[in-house]
Chains A and B, each alone.
Chain A
Amino acid sequence: MHIVIIGNGVSGITAARHIRKRSDHQITVISAESEHFFSRTALMYVYMGHMRWTDIKPYEDWFWEKNRIDLVHDYVESIDYGGNQVILAKANPIKYDKLILATGSKSNKFGWPGQDLEAVYGLYSKQDLEAMERHTPGLKRAVIVGGGLIGIEMAEMFRSRDIPVTMIVRESNYWDNVLPAEEAAMISRHIREHHIDLRLGVNLGEIIDDGQGKACAVTIKETGERIDCGYVGLTAGVSPRIDLVKDGPIETGRGILVDDYLETSVPGIYALGDCAELREPQPGRRPIEAIWYAGRMMGETVAHTLTGDRQPYRPRLWFNSAKFLDIEYQVYGDVPAQLPEDLSTLYWEHSDGRQSIRIVYETATEAVRGFNLFGVRYRHEVCEKWILDKASLDTVLQDISLANFDPEFCKQYEQDLVDQYNQATGKSLSLRKKRNLDQVLTFLNLRS
């Protein structure tokens, strides 16, 4: 069987690797973006000089040939559904038995005037990175439109080269459509601490042409203020890249519609990762989850299905992570920005304003539903088990040290958290476990 995968991001490559682990099928991965798989989330580190291009490639270049995964560096023009083949820009068409679409996302453009000018880019692809590099010499200021996880990366990148940055963010606090108010305020403070000109609660008016087709300034819609700049970053989210299948028989919504088994409306064609839209997502989950982890899990799932072990896509508990300049962020489970009636929250913040712990629980049952962590590392498996077991807040607080994943000797804040809770509730809980891997393993029933 010949499996052709369009796109060599984490979804497509994970699928390819796991298909190879489980079978001898012929595998071809096509990408126009880059010759080899690279970590998209690490693009920023190349610009900042933390790593070279070669360092963000998770596998050495010989890996693909050794594992008989054929790489084709070409652009897919179209799919010949009748002939079961993909039409390439340069090379001959490739026939497939099964086709996996892992085409990823593109940066959102909301019809702003000037959005297609030169020096206006998102931050998603290798080509975006090259554009940033190309426009950097002599750059006096960059404007970034939109907050979120990509905007902050782009701001950090430019700041590493001492380029002044203005961020135009629609929300009243950074990313507060996702983060609860306290954390959003913390991140907003931290961004300003890094000398980034953060404009909250405003929108982009237009991007101004310098007369030669290149952006030279933007205006703010609300105030009409003009900000001169040599680069405009569009980081107001991403949406599925579905141009390839839009006019074909495959049903699409915002993304490529897939069933539980990640199969599209055309049998034998699957879609994974950012470009896929689940017809029936799990309760509490969104139909499109354009994150690294979802792509990887979908890749594993489809690999099972295509190698004789048909598996529905069942992501476990929601989790995500990011880094806002110096502050690491981890989330496990439900941590809504706006707390609904039936949920309550316990929030602790360090006096230096760069670390916080939030636990969300059900008001009625006190069952723990989610963790939000800034500047503190917690164990994935422990938090997940508490949430899936519906452990009560009191239990979790008394055992909370089990979750701590900070490096040895780092100051632990579990006692502060419990003290604060005791003070607020009049309870007298105390920590009954220490941070200790053997205890964690016992808790997880993983001890052998």
Chain B
Amino acid sequence: MEIIKKIGLTLFFIGLLLFTACLHLSKFQMAGELAVDNDVHRTAITNAAAQSGLQGGEPQSIWTFAPRLKTTIKDAQSMLQAEVDAQGLPEGVAEWDYKIGDWKIKEYISSIVSSSTAGPISKSPWLWFFLTFGLGIIGGLLYILPSFAKLPGIKNDHVYHRSYQRGLRLAPRAAVLSLTIAGVLGYGIIYMGGSWIWTALTVAAGAIILYLVMIQQDSAKNQPARSAGPSITGWFGIFTGIYLIGFYILLYWAPSYIQGWIQLVNPISEALSGGPASQWFLYGFMYTIIVIVMGIRMIAKYRHNTYQMIRTGSVMFFQTAFAFLIPEIMVRLNQPYYDFKNIWPLNYTFFFDWNLNKLLDSGGLGIFMLVWGIALIVIAVPVITYFFGKRWYCSWVCGCGGLAETMGDPYRQLSDKSLRAWKIERFTIHAVLVFAVVMTILVLISYFSGSARLGFLNSEQVRTWYGFLIGSAFAGVVGTGFYPLMGNRMWCRFGCPLAAYLGLVQRFKSRFRITVNGGQCISCGNCSTYCEMGIDVRHYAQRGQDIVRSSCVGCGVCSAVCPRGVLRLENASGDIATRTSELRTIHIGEDEVTMLS
């Protein structure tokens, strides 16, 4: 058994190493007509490329090719600008059909890079697919499958002895978090075209939240952060975190650099949707593969618990079918790309003009998608959450939740359980909800009025900043990149606006709660430790108090890891008010003392 696991681990790391190497192995060479649809721009870039020697040169790695291409396109841009300055625009040609706008540069880099591939991967993509994804999957499964031979039951042995699982002490944790936030906010200035106002507003909002938590609620003095550190920091965890953060940075903001990876899945994209792969196809494919393989791990680990197995099956299904296959097939059928289970405000682009136009232009199916999407928001969320709690979405259907529950399961113990973290959470997640709602309202006003400018605000900029800060940086870079550093539900707990909305329903109008079995709790802390949402479950369990918390995603792991069978997820509201009251106790005879208060 051990030897099979070791072979699996070795294969996985070889696959990962080759996958990483693909970035460098993939070579690029300009050949034939450039993949630019504007004739003027294509000619200008071709000329500039001939001058700079990029056209016809040797195949190069992406690290030299992409920067040179960028310079070349900028040369073409200034050449065209110079022409316009000297001669004015030709008759009947719109300005931006002639000049190259700044926003076009990224798009042209992407399309030229993807059509300039040379080198081993583009020659034999299937071989390289096998050497990377194939070895990764086989290795992963070899590592996971022997667990099915163990006796069923909770196996959390050595979680805190492993360098990749045990998390960080307070100081390095704070350091990584601040560096990431500083990096995102700094890059945000560049991203917004040199405008610092958005970064400044975000910093101001963060400062207000910190003030409220630390000073107003006295948590700086009275409730210091939980310095929970193991004596040694988990270096493998830091490495994994940095790798994931790096991946997301390239994916969102420098996709031309991961062309080597995109090529790997090109054949699969061709087969599914009929078109070449984009970075989003790569991402969706990886996401699905990871959810499936790590889902199998989850099932092996919790196979004494039917709830966990069915729930994991559910997230695997929704990711594979709804998030990955159906949208790709829709594209193949010339229908809009649509993920039927993605709900606004998590799906923050739903009310964007281009999405609304796309749906409205797609006939009956498009209208159905529009109505479906709105029905999810106004009917499905409140009604289903009333009956089952927010778990129906967060830990059964959602893609972010699906990744957190599968790939993220090894890191669930790293969520911060301190009271202070809960205080911060309540501010940030609701702040993001407000931001999402305001942003969407502005976008819709613009949509109906036809003007992006609304007084001093520009809805175009607001939504760009939301997409950058929340959609990419928070949900992706921090959300997943911080799995090994601060737990697998950073995004769901501190940021997701849909989770905030579901949580409000769950907290104030839902039958869902976790019940506590009489006086059986021994305060051991397994429930709190393995709560990915950082809920101090033990706090309630040890005083016999039922648990109703807006953040609970109903994953059921507290109940699964409890060594005394104290916790159970239930949907029934009978006495929800009394049983969730403080300090309910049945330890002493109820005849004499029913409740302490």
B-binding residues in A (CB < 8 A): 10, 18, 21-22, 39, 41-42, 45, 48-52, 54-58, 60, 62, 66, 160, 193-194, 292-293, 296-297, 300-301, 304, 311, 314-316, 319, 321-323, 325-328, 330, 377, 379-381, 384, 405-411, 436-438, 441-442, 446-448
How far is it, in angstroms, between the C-alpha of A407 and the C-alpha of B554 when the chains are bound? 12
Given A21-B583, A314-B592, A39 contacting B574 (CB threshold 8 A): no
Contact between chains at B230 and A52 (CB < 8 Å): yes
A-binding residues in B (CB < 8 A): 151-154, 156-162, 222-224, 226, 228, 230, 304-308, 310, 413, 418-419, 515, 517-520, 522-526, 528-529, 538-539, 542, 556, 559-560, 563-565, 568-572, 574-575, 577-579, 583, 585-590, 592-593, 596
Query: Of B306, B529, B578, B589, which is within 8 A of A409 by CB?
Result: B306
Could you show 18 A-B contacts with beta carbons less than 8 Å apart?
Answer: A45-B525, A45-B526, A50-B526, A54-B228, A56-B524, A58-B525, A60-B419, A66-B223, A300-B585, A301-B588, A304-B593, A316-B589, A319-B518, A321-B565, A405-B565, A406-B565, A410-B306, A437-B574
Residues of A within 8 A of B228 (CB): 52, 54-55
Closest A residue by C-beta to B556:
A407
Contact between chains at B524 and A42 (CB < 8 Å): yes
How far is it, in angstroms, between the C-alpha of A21 and the C-alpha of B308 when the chains are bound? 38
Contact between chains at B589 and A407 (CB < 8 Å): no
Please name 17 further chain A to chain B contacts, defined as beta carbons within 8 Å, in addition to the given A51-B413, A194-B151, A296-B587, sorted by A numbering. A41-B522, A42-B525, A42-B526, A48-B157, A49-B160, A51-B525, A56-B524, A60-B419, A316-B588, A319-B519, A384-B518, A407-B305, A409-B306, A410-B306, A438-B572, A447-B575, A448-B575
How far is it, in angstroms, between the C-alpha of A204 and the C-alpha of B560 when the chains are bound? 37
Residues of B within 8 A of A436 (CB): 572
How far is it, in angstroms, between the C-alpha of A297 and the C-alpha of B544 when the chains are bound? 13
| Chain A contact residues: helix, strand, loop or mixed | mixed
Given A55-B228, A407-B560, A448 contacting B523 (CB threshold 8 A): no
Contact between chains at B588 and A297 (CB < 8 Å): yes
Measured CB to CB, the closest approach of chain A to B516, in angstroms, equals: 9
Closest B residue by C-beta to A40:
B522
How far is it, in angstroms, between the C-alpha of A327 and the C-alpha of B596 when the chains are bound? 33
Given A297-B588, A379-B517, A411-B306, A56 contacting B525 (CB threshold 8 A): yes
Contact between chains at B519 and A21 (CB < 8 Å): no
Contact between chains at A45 and B520 (CB < 8 Å): no
Measured CB to CB, the closest approach of chain B to A280, in angstroms, equals: 16
Residues of B within 8 A of A410 (CB): 305-307
Residues of B within 8 A of A323 (CB): 563-564
| Chain B contact residues: helix, strand, loop or mixed | loop
Contact between chains at A60 and B522 (CB < 8 Å): no
Given A381-B518, A446-B574, A408 contacting B226 (CB threshold 8 A): no
Closest A residue by C-beta to B516:
A380
Contact between chains at B523 and A58 (CB < 8 Å): yes
Residues of A within 8 A of B153 (CB): 325-327
How far is it, in angstroms, between the C-alpha of A143 and the C-alpha of B307 when the chains are bound? 38
Measured CB to CB, the closest approach of chain B to A142, in angstroms, equals: 16
Closest A residue by C-beta to B585:
A300
Residues of A within 8 A of B563 (CB): 323, 328
Measured CB to CB, the closest approach of chain B to A277, in angstroms, equals: 20
How far is it, in angstroms, between the C-alpha of A372 and the C-alpha of B586 when the chains are bound? 21
Query: Of B524, B578, B590, B593, which is within 8 A of A45 by CB?
Result: B524
Given A49-B160, A377-B517, A446-B574, A42 contacting B523 (CB threshold 8 A): yes
Contact between chains at B226 and A39 (CB < 8 Å): no
Residues of A within 8 A of B413 (CB): 51
Closest A residue by C-beta to B167:
A52
Contact between chains at A380 and B519 (CB < 8 Å): yes
